[in-house]
Amino acid sequence: MKRVRPADMTEMYALRADTIDYFFPERDDEVESWAKIASEYGDDVLHLMCGTGEILVGLAKKGFNVTGIDLTESMIYQAEENLEDEGIENFDLIVEDARSFKVGKKFDFIFISTGDFHHFLEQEDINLVLGRIFAHLRPGGAVAIELFQPNDQDFKRPEKRYRPFRETPPGLKVWKVNRSSYHADSQILEIVERLHVEEEGEIVEGEYDIQLQLHTEEQIEHMLKDAGFEDVKHLHKDDLVGEHDSWIVLAKR
Ligand SMILES: C[S@@+](CC[C@H](N)C(=O)[O-])C[C@H]1O[C@@H](n2cnc3c(N)ncnc32)[C@H](O)[C@@H]1O
């Protein structure tokens, strides 16, 4: 058995790129929610921190012009494969940092899904990301960020074992165990994750720490307003399609 300890965020995601999608349930409802929100603003959509591009695939199939940005090369390669496998020819995928990306166009709608915004721990980084988003939206365009609830009971569980939500191909076994602790004073959620991947008898175990900076509605609203956004709205379960434990903050440029 190989034990792997990734040194940084991109190494950690590179290790997870082949199996991360098994830990998301089928994503039709998620795509439906994003399509519903994006369609208010237009067709040109950017998914920041897009991972393997599953949401981009769904949006492209609905007729949006999709662009994905992610810092991890193997995620972008996986996204390219996913889009091409679905016969989608018209897309842009870029390996870039959300804090410094430059794309030569403006979008109608930019979004960060699945709590990925929580990866930014420092206020300086948060300001950079929001500044880049603002600069890449057309006036009247919108940003949407999906966030976790600081009071989510799941974060209070000391240990949780995840089996894949989807059927894995023959010869592949994958599961992960999360140990999490939430620090209410700093609103930091610390997760130690152990990922087990067994393929054709070869076992790789990765262990890594994930730190997530959670935010209250008031905090995120202030940050968006400071970055120049207006008309901030919070969308909850009833406004979204499917089962959502997270919420989405939406704001206009
Ligand atoms: C949980 S995964 C993404 C899942 C994806 N949003 C989805 O819905 O399928 C988080 C992603 O954030 C990317 N990431 C982390 N830090 C980043 C940064 N500074 N800039 C751009 N992407 C980043 C990682 O490479 C990883 O692919």
The pLDDT of 24-52, averaged and rounded, is 97
Q: How confident is residue 151, by pLDDT bands cut at 50, 70 and 90?
A: confident
187 and 94 in one domain? no
226 and 188 in one domain? no
Lowest mean pLDDT among 86-95, 149-158, 229-238: 149-158
Integer Cα distance of 165 and 239 in angstroms: 25
CA distances from 158 to 87, 99, 163, 193, 200 (A): 43, 32, 17, 12, 32
Please indicate whether residue 13, judged by its CB atom, sits closer than 6 Å to ligand 1: yes
Please indicate whether residue 212, judged by its CB atom, sits closer than 6 Å to ligand 1: no
The pLDDT of 144-153, averaged and rounded, is 89
CATH of the domain at 123: 3.40.50.150
The Å distance, Cα 13 to ligand 1 centre, comes to: 8
Contact 163, 173 (CB under 8 A): no
**pLDDT at 7 (0 to 100):** 87
- Host domain of residue 31: 2-150+215-252
134 pLDDT exceeds 90? yes
176 and 219 in one domain? no
228 and 204 in one domain? no
125 and 62 in one domain? yes
The token duo for 197 is 């991947």
Q: How confident is residue 245, by pLDDT bands cut at 50, 70 and 90?
A: confident
Using a cut of 0.85, tell me whether the model's pTM lies above it.
Answer: yes
The Å distance, Cα 114 to ligand 1 centre, comes to: 9
137 pLDDT exceeds 90? yes
From 9, 52, 81, 116, the mutation candidate for ligand 1 (largest count of ligand atoms within 8 A of CB) is: 116
The pLDDT of 49-70, averaged and rounded, is 98
What does the DSSP 8-state code read for residue 32?
H
157 and 112 in one domain? no
227 and 187 in one domain? no
123 and 28 in one domain? yes
CATH of the domain at 201: 2.20.25
Number of domains observed in the structure of the chain = 2
CA distances from 165 to 31, 155, 223 (A): 17, 19, 35
Token pair 């494969």 in the structure block, residue: 81
